[in-house]
Structure 1
Amino acid sequence: MGKNMLQMFLYFGVIPVVISFITIFITADNFLFSTILPLIIGGCIAGGYASRTLLRQDENSTHSLLFLFPLAYTAVIWAIFMLISGGFYGADSWLSYGILHIAMAPIFFMTMLMGEGRLFLWAPLSYELAVVFTIFLVFLIKRVRPTFDKKQAVTLLTVFVLAMGTGAVVQWERSKTVLPSYGFEYGGGYSSTDLTPYEVTNPSNILPKLESPSTFTIKNSFEMPRLDGAEAAYPVYSAFANTVYENISQLDNVWDIVSFTNTIYSYERLLSGEVDIYFGAEPSKEQQEMAKRQGKEMVMTPIGKEAFVFFVNPDNKVDSLDVSEIQSIYSGKIKNWSELGGKNERIIAFQRPKNSGSQTLLEKIMGDTPIMEPLKEDVPEGMGGIIEQVADYRNYDNSIGFSFRFFATGMRGNSDIKLLAIDGIEPSPENIASEKYPFTANLYAITLKDNTKNTIEPFLEWMKGPQGQEIIEKIGYIRN
């Protein structure tokens, strides 16, 4: 028995630790592949040596059953921790899992750093399967028939299958509400689309120009109101700054004057005094309450019109929804497109993060109707492991999403979506201008009443005037 335990310690303790350390020094674009491949190769080599040892023993094949135990062990503890964590690989409980699989500690350490949670299962399993596969392959080649306790073998295999099945069910259930990450690649992780074409420092930017010189300019950088706002509004206030702020692209502190941190953070920066004007949709209830708690009064200046739109895949048969149907979708009451005249497919309803401009408008449409939990995604956070965040829109055949018309059709330029009519009224420029479209929304420039910077008020007046409205229209919004 002692000899068998020594073998198990060697093949499933010492050797995996050595391979784990080796994988740390392998650099490749695909971290998952570069980790699993050495484990498979190492497992095959270890299985080859183990099979030679087994073949030399009396009743050699009796001991081969021991090599199935690690497989069952891995499957069982993985299933247990999947149940504990709900399938979320960013949970703290996986640290305990790593302790119970200490031979893979170096790999699990890198797994947490790289945000590749799948390795919690596939690192040990790939090695163990490679060992077992090689042993039985050698037996087959040598024409040695294993003679082991069939009941024990069946029990181990049953435990393995049930455990893997349990973990797979947890993963399947989670996949219904949590998607693989797309991640945000732009704007320091704040933006879901490339804002470079709209940056004032970009010599090839696509910001619109006025037909005549601006009637209002600000020369000194310390007098320039600091701007921030929503992603969909960035082209607007960047164009304003490009037109009104003299030599803005040449200033050393340009990113302090024309910044982007998205709706959630820019509201906080407005209230803290870090920025002077916020551009975007109306504030959420939470943001209004935040202002009240801080004793701040927000002044909302409408500078343009926009449509809040819902969109689907072009192959979707549904072309129009009414307000009650949207409320039923986002409350979870209607779950299948067939209930709306579409295909017999589950509705995948995407939302936006809490306190974002578009989510705030959805909440306004929903009124007192509770909104269901949003779809989420597991996001690798580099040195921070894995976090959960609200999933960005994916253009699946059965998806529905929402945004502002300009962002959905202009900034992203996505031709693979279809804007839905609401109550039979399409979000056309004409219907937005006349406010016939039910979800017509204002684009605001929001300031604080107690801000004493003397250039703010004339800047706002210029935005509402002919030249400011010319910029608004050339960007793709509707004149106020």
Structure 2
Amino acid sequence: MKKIIVILMAMFFLIVNVFMYVTITRRLGNNYSDATKNRMVDVGSYLPFEEESNLARTGSSLHFNADDDLPVLDGAAALVPVYASVIDNIYPEGCVTYEGGKFSDDNKFGENFASDSVMQFQNTVRGYNALVEGSVDLFFTAHPSREQLDYAKDMGVELEIVPIGLEAFVFFVNEDNPVENLSIDQIRGIYRGNIKNWNEVEGPDRLINPLLRIKGSGSQTMMETFMEGDMISRRDPLSIFGGAIGYSFRYYLAGMVGNDNVKMLSVNGIYPNVENIKNGSYPISANFYVVYRKDNNNENVTKLVNWLLSDEGQNMIEACGYVGGSHREKINDQEENNNNMTVYENGGENKKVNDEDMSSFASGIKTDDETAIAETEFVLNDEIDERCPVQYETRRGNVNYGEFSHGTYYSETCSLERGYCILLPADYSEDKKYPVLYLLHGIFGNEYSFSEDKSNKLREIVGNMAADGLIDETIIVCPDMYATSDPEQKPAFDSESVLPYDNFINDLVNDLMPHIESVYSVATGRDNTYLAGFSMGGRETIYITLQRPELFGYVCAISAAPGIVPTKDNFMTHEGQISENEMKFADDAVTPEVFIVCCGTKDSVVGTYPKQYHELLKNNGADHIWYEIIGADHDNNAVKSGIFNLFKQIAFRKASSNTR
């Protein structure tokens, strides 16, 4: 009898194990299931020189001949249409040998082309390795992962990484899922394991199944960047019985694999279409690149890169279904530039910017790509540095950096409990007094706009300058600048909806500053109190400074939005907070030691409004520093420049006073 029981128990556990393998383990571990194969790109639809191929045949003034040294092209699946179209437009027929075959359990890496074919199609990991090892000349990809960059470095290979276009990073669900929109915070909550059921995001009562991609793939690298390195590494086994969510690039999902069973989600209320990518309203976008070895001596490699950046190349990229990136500047990855994704933490409304009258408000902090800046010897003086020196925005191994935390205070101005984020020095002590910078966000932002955007390098700039003894360790306070007494009121492009921003001066002076000074170990007085702001925050920084100059010793308004004085832009008519003649300090006012107004020369959001403010201040006799950041858009290049120069001026004046 005991033997029968033992046998029955063994059979039971065997059945359970088989069931678990079939229903869970195999489904979690197999990246090449039937469902996955159906979503993979059919490279046979994008073969150069085939009449029925889905390519952008826009023509080219550049042509290669059969006896030329033809560069071998490879790339991520999402960019097959781009590099296949390059070959179709420029290369001679007969240089591509397609041997067929699709991704399968026996062909997991897309070995579809002969070894002597100029077109290759491997997965991102193997294709990138082939580039580093020299069998591929140009690789079309999202930004390489840190592991891939480290591999090149270990192999002694220097790379050129050139942005050639822009694409939306999207999230998708089953077409039957009623959820149409998620916020950035909700997406991050899902992929950090904090949100596990669709009913937590106004969906059905069903578990969320967050799909993951292969490590090193372009989409996985982008996702890790978006998640700032903090995301789940594996799914809850039970989640496979729930409703899935996945991520990819827009055109790959919508234009290449075309799965009718899934739908793309809006993010922060903005749908990922071409128009919304171009006008910057879709909140998550990423450059894509062509990458090649620096030591590649094939002159046709640089010819192709230059052609891709030309009008002809950009037109072809647009015809492929992507957004051209001819406005992007060349990036050398050796400068360790990781800002390859644009994220608006709090997206604005879907508004088109007029190129001739670029006068909209900022919809948030845009993280743009930057031109790499070589490290140079820093000299402390009172001159403006156009860009933040790389040594002050780069994290150092021997410096401890502070981290943001969140706090609240009761606002008598708003009759509400309100929030702020605060950056304390790493070794903050109640036994020491610290100066304070109040840093104001753009329209549609909140107290998290700066703290959650690590690419603004606030921690590094302040931490490194303090470590070098240039400035005192400093507290940074990032408030919610929308000072309304109605918790249901939201910012928008009309006079009534922007009034709470103008009311912030009262909340700041009467509620927030007294709270900070009572709770934290703050050095008081105008010499220890700084004010800065970006976009709408820059506008309010100027207004607050003119109204209460006795409170702030050092001030910087970055890319200030319109509306201090009466004007009309693409979105609304601004009644103005003051008249043009009042754009000055009172005659008997104690003015700031430093008052900076700055803006990028390529600002596509506020355009020339900051310069107009400068001219009004100058004509009215208001002492200030004006400068432009060459090549900067409405982005973190401008933010970093403004913050660095503010602290540089603080450092210079305090050093000068100590030598007197």
**What TM-score results when the alignment is normalised by the length of structure 1?**
0.58
1:208 to 49, 56, 70: 56
1:401 to 246, 249, 259: 246
For residues 279 and 184 of structure 1, the distance between their equivalents in structure 2, rounded to whole angstroms, comes to: 26
Deviates most, 345-354 or 279-288: 345-354
Residues 1:164 and 2:11 are matched in the alignment = yes
Aligned to 1:218: 64
Counting aligned pairs with the same residue, the percent is 35
Q: Say whether the 8 Å CA contact 1:270–1:276 is kept in structure 2.
A: yes
For residues 321 and 265 of structure 1, the distance between their equivalents in structure 2, rounded to whole angstroms, comes to: 34
Q: Once the two structures are superposed, what CA deviation does each residue of 1:411-443 show, in whole Å capped at 9, x if it has no partner?
A: 111122111111222111112112322221112
Q: Could you say which structure has the larger radius of gyration? A: 1
Give the drift of 1:224. 1.4
Q: Say whether the 8 Å CA contact 1:200–1:248 is kept in structure 2.
A: no
Amino acid at match of 1:342: G
Amino acid at match of 1:451: N
Deviates most, 251-260 or 352-361: 251-260
Aligned to 2:140: 279
Q: Say whether the 8 Å CA contact 2:141–2:289 is kept in structure 1.
A: yes
Q: Say whether the 8 Å CA contact 2:166–2:287 is kept in structure 1.
A: yes
Residues 1:183 and 2:32 are matched in the alignment = yes
Q: Say whether the 8 Å CA contact 2:141–2:288 is kept in structure 1.
A: yes
Q: Say whether the 8 Å CA contact 1:229–1:263 is kept in structure 2.
A: yes
Amino acid at match of 2:142: A
Give the drift of 1:361. 0.7
Q: Please list every run of 5 or more consecutive structure 2 residues that lacks an aligned counterpart in the other structure.
A: 99-113, 326-660
Q: Once the two structures are superposed, what CA deviation does each residue of 1:117-150 show, in whole Å capped at 9, x if it has no partner?
A: xxxxxxxxxxxxxxxxxxxxxxxxxxxxxxxxxx
Aligned to 2:78: 232
Computed over aligned residues only, the root mean square deviation of the Cα atoms, in angstroms, reads 2.8
Higher strand fraction: Structure 1 or Structure 2?
A: 2
Q: Once the two structures are superposed, what CA deviation does each residue of 1:59-102 show, in whole Å capped at 9, x if it has no partner?
A: xxxxxxxxxxxxxxxxxxxxxxxxxxxxxxxxxxxxxxxxxxxx
For residues 182 and 284 of structure 1, the distance between their equivalents in structure 2, rounded to whole angstroms, comes to: 20
1:351 to 190, 209, 212: 212
1:455 to 300, 311, 316: 300
SS state at 1:299 partner:
strand
Give the drift of 1:157. 4.9
Q: Say whether the 8 Å CA contact 1:242–1:248 is kept in structure 2.
A: no
Distance 1:199 1:251, change over 3 A: closer
Aligned to 1:337: 198
SS state at 2:164 partner:
strand
For residues 92 and 279 of structure 2, the distance between their equivalents in structure 1, rounded to whole angstroms, comes to: 35
SS state at 2:219 partner:
helix
For residues 207 and 24 of structure 2, the distance between their equivalents in structure 1, rounded to whole angstroms, comes to: 10
Distance 1:449 1:320, change over 3 A: same
* Higher RCO by CA contacts (8 Å cutoff, separation 6 or greater): 1
Give the drift of 1:273. 0.6
Q: Say whether the 8 Å CA contact 1:330–1:372 is kept in structure 2.
A: no
Alignment of structure 1 residues 54-133 onto 2, 5 Å? none
**Number of equivalent positions:** 304
Aligned to 1:313: 174
Aligned to 1:60: none
Amino acid at match of 1:183: Y
Give the drift of 1:231. 0.7
Give the drift of 1:176. 3.8
For residues 120 and 55 of structure 2, the distance between their equivalents in structure 1, rounded to whole angstroms, comes to: 16
Deviates most, 165-174 or 338-347: 165-174
Give the drift of 1:354. 0.4
Aligned to 2:606: none
Give the drift of 1:322. 2.0
2:165 to 290, 300, 304: 304
Give the drift of 1:299. 1.1
Q: Say whether the 8 Å CA contact 2:76–2:218 is kept in structure 1.
A: yes
Q: Please list every run of 5 or more consecutive structure 1 residues that lacks an aligned counterpart in the other structure.
A: 1-151, 377-393
For residues 331 and 161 of structure 1, the distance between their equivalents in structure 2, rounded to whole angstroms, comes to: 42
Higher helix fraction: Structure 1 or Structure 2?
A: 1
For residues 233 and 118 of structure 2, the distance between their equivalents in structure 1, rounded to whole angstroms, comes to: 38
SS state at 1:197 partner:
helix
